[in-house]
Amino acid sequence: MLLYTPGRLLRATLALILVSPLVHGAKNVTNVTPTGTTRPYDPSPFNLIGTISACNETDTDGPLAGGTITVDGMVITVPKNLLVTLPSISVAWPELFDGETPSLPLLGSVSWEATVFGNIVQGQPIAGLIYITQESTQILQGFITEIDYTTGHFFVNNEIEAVLNDPLGQYGPVYTDYPLWTVDAQNPSVTSSTGFPLCIPRNSTDADCPLTNRPLDGDGFYLTTLHVTFGNPATVAPGEPDPRIMAPLVVGDYITFSGLKVPGGLLAVYSLSANLGIYTAAGTKPAYISPATATYAIQVADPTVEAGEVRFNPQ
Ligand SMILES: *[C@@H]1O[C@H](CO)[C@@H](O)[C@H](O)[C@H]1NC(C)=O
Ligand SMILES: *[C@@H]1O[C@H](CO)[C@@H](O)[C@H](O)[C@H]1NC(C)=O
Ligand SMILES: *[C@@H]1O[C@H](CO)[C@@H](O)[C@H](O)[C@H]1NC(C)=O
């Protein structure tokens, strides 16, 4: 009779493996305790991405004071003078607080995330760079189905009620409730996919956001599948599309956007790209560019050297 079926053979092999350490006199590992007092790498760099559970400030240290940020349970020291990068702007740590309360709308019920680079020094994580945003992976898409010119609120797919978070009113009606999470008023973050700045008209005759910058089709409807080159600004006649002025968003535009969920069910948008191909005339100014990615490097004299992030042990 055959004794070793495949299953028995496997069990026999496992038993041999389990038993063999004792056979060979392996050490009792539970008795091994660390010796010495020097940490192997101190300071040691870290780079983490996680959910903010709490943060506070050391309010006795002036407008550039530090504090702590707790990311997924890890308490990280925020040193004095550190600037925090938000989606469009950088701010000093105390600017993130209204009194003792962090200005992170809906903290606790939506995910606020931090990317932190720093060093662990004598066991204590200390931040060097901090990036904070709400739901960092949020990228929404849909058609604009309604625009309310009095409030500047617009609806996407009849479901999402959004507003440009625009405290300076650069791209439309002023909205000041959450200025930290603003659109970028200098490098436009409200654009066509070709980089042309876009806006929400403040009224039907808004000269800074004229409907004349949205060409019509033969039936008098705004073209929403636009691929158009505006004329040379030197020869643009009144009422013609003018590349020096923003183009309005209209109902029917297909947009990709990110924003902040704020109380009241509103999305305060800091970044918006509409599927519109608006180009400016070749060889004229202004010209708008829309970089998708940028890679930076440090130039060193020796062309064969590649400098990566390194773990540095000073001993
Ligand atoms: C292994 O260490 C534990 C904990 O100290 C001890 O209870 C046990 O007797 C040790 N076993 C052997 C084989 O030394
Ligand atoms: C800030 O939070 C940390 C971590 O929870 C805590 O140890 C510290 O005492 C707090 N500081 C202030 C000023 O509240
Ligand atoms: C329309 O909005 C612009 C920009 O805010 C303003 O200058 C203009 O007076 C407004 N026109 C009317 C009729 O309200």
Residue-wise over 55-91: b if at least 16 C-beta within 10 A, else e?
bebbeeeeeebbbbbbbeeeebbbeeebebebbbbee
Interval 257-305: pLDDT, tens: 999 999 999 999 999 999 999 999 999 999 998 877 777 766 677 777 7
Q: What is the pLDDT of residue 304?
A: 73
- Residue 101 vs residue 309, higher pLDDT: 101
Q: Distance, CA 206 to ligand 3 centroid (Å)? A: 5
DSSP 139: -
User: Which residue of 68, 74, 77, 100 sits with most ligand 2 atoms within 8 Å of its CB, as the best mutation to test the pocket?
Assistant: 68
Residue appearing with tokens 């495949």: 6
pLDDT above 50 (res 236): yes
Q: Distance, CA 208 to ligand 3 centroid (Å)? A: 9
Of 13-17, 29-33, 68-72, 180-184, the range with the lowest mean pLDDT is 13-17
Report yes or no on whether pTM surpasses 0.85: no
- 145: exposed, middle or buried (C-beta count within 10 Å: 0-12, 13-18, 19+)? middle
DSSP 158: T
Q: What is the pLDDT of residue 20?
A: 42
203 lines ligand 3 (CB under 6 A): yes
Q: What is the pLDDT of residue 264?
A: 94
User: Which residue of 22, 27, 28, 32 sits with most ligand 1 atoms within 8 Å of its CB, as the best mutation to test the pocket?
Assistant: 28
Q: Which domains does the chain have, with CATH numbers?
A: 44-134 (2.40.50), 140-279 (no CATH)
Give the residue-averaged pLDDT of 156-180.
97
